[in-house]
Copies of this chain bind each other. A is one copy, B any other.
Amino acid sequence: MQDWNREAVTKTIERSLDDRDLPAVTTAVRPLGSTEIVEVLERLDGTQRAVLYRLLSKEQALEVFEDLDASLQSDLLGGLQNDDVAALFAEMDPDDRVELLDELPAKVARRLMQGLPWREREMTASILGYPQGSIGRRMSPEFVAVRADSTAEVALSRVSRHLVDAETVYILPVTDDHRTLVGVVSLRELMGADPQTRISDLMERAYPVRATDDAEDAARRCADLKALVLPVVDNESRLVGILTVDDALRILETAETEDQARAGGTEPLRQPYLTNPVRNLVRGRVVWLLVLAVGATLTVQVLSVFEATLSQVVALALFVPLLIGTGGNTGNQAATTVTRALALGDIGSRDIAKVVAREFRVGLSLGLLLGSVAFLLATVVYDVSLGAVLGLSLLSVCTMAATVGGSMPLLASAIRADPAVFSNPFISTFVDATGLLVYFLIAKLVLGV
């Protein structure tokens, strides 16, 4: 069972699709579960995907559709008939539906909304009322809540009535008679309790998030707490929805793809790598490269200023890549460490003074170590004055780079910008230019040129 060979099966299906041998495709797909079909679909190109999807049984098609990324869902809808689209849309969970609506052209979205049964339309509209990027948009309104003054027996019978339509029944939010959230209770606790026990005696503290909170922050909180469910409340602490751990995982996966892409200086891909045309890959990278290249012209300007010094001591040019490379690495180390600590909540923007002080000391230590090594080596291979220039430059550049690299993510977070805006490539570019300036100033001073 665990030996399902995704690559071989995908290859067989791809080949059969290329040969337009549809019966062979059906045979290859039959033994697969919806999870496997999704994995295969994510590796096919657009046309192949549409063909394979239409070969699925009605039931399978719905299951598979629900598990696809919203961008692939939207792609697939284009190839289906209006009736089929409306049926699929009505079957979806309200939160998944809203995610898909965000992907569709406004006209199509409006038409689909109008086709929904009343209750589904109401629930969908209530989620759509929250701002984009907030957890209100991604929460599920299909929860089972229990009252604090009721009993375990009453709560269990409530659970039994909602086994089918609730998003989850394993962790239940507990409210008072004003719909205000007062705690959570687990199904396990309910099942183990005497039927007459009051919920207020069984419940535990809830860690709610607000519907207007940032979706990524809320999801991160869910993952941090290792909670199966977080209740979502409005500004008056009234329960309005729940965030389940599987939805939190979905949000974090997208958020991490984005963060990592930006940290690497590219726009995030909106689709799996192999399904993306090359021109999309180029588009996602070229703007960043151009912006960074414009930033890098600073280095050309700094070097132009010192062109006379350079032509007097050409040897200085030999160490430019080594020096700015080390500066960039030191800055990136600090930025990576601080960004991760921020993401994990180990530090916050109020810690900036502490972080700057720590990174200054780290940078100084690194600079002393590397600077001494460089001084010794360069003195042996070249001469003592070049050794002094290199050693002092590394000392200053490392100290500066660690301090700047460590404080950038915190500054970003203090002004409520994405720390990835001041990402590694930007730090490198900044450190390159200032590092060169320091290097040549020290060189002029020590060598007297």
- Which residues on A are within 8 Å of B, measured CB to CB? 1-2, 6-7, 33, 35, 39, 42-43, 159-160, 163-164, 169-170, 181, 187-188, 191-192, 205-210, 223, 225-226, 228, 233, 237, 245-246, 249-250, 253, 256-257, 260-261, 263-266, 269, 272-274, 278-279, 281-282, 285-286, 288-290, 292-293, 296-297, 299-300, 303-304, 307, 310-311, 314-315, 317-322, 324-326, 328-330, 332-333, 335-341, 344-348, 350-351, 354-355, 358, 361-362, 365-366, 369-370, 373-374, 424-425, 428-429, 432, 436
Contacts and interface: CB of A to CB of B under 8 A. Distances in A.
Contacts of A432: 321, 325
16 contacts: A1-B181, A7-B350, A245-B249, A273-B337, A278-B358, A281-B337, A282-B365, A288-B329, A289-B370, A292-B326, A299-B322, A299-B325, A304-B318, A321-B321, A325-B429, A329-B425
A215 to B, nearest CB: 16
Nearest to A285: B333
Contacts of A361: 278
A314 B314 CA distance: 8
A340 B272 contact: no
A274 B336 contact: no
A370 B266 contact: no
B337 A292 contact: no
A414 to B, nearest CB: 13
A366 B333 contact: no
Contacts of A425: 329, 332
Contacts of A169: 188
A311 B307 CA distance: 11
A2 B210 contact: yes
Nearest to A279: B365
B7 A273 contact: no
A391 B401 CA distance: 30
A325 B292 contact: yes
Contacts of A210: 2
A348 B7 contact: yes
Given A2-B210, A33-B205, A191-B159, A300 B322 contact: yes
A42 B365 contact: no
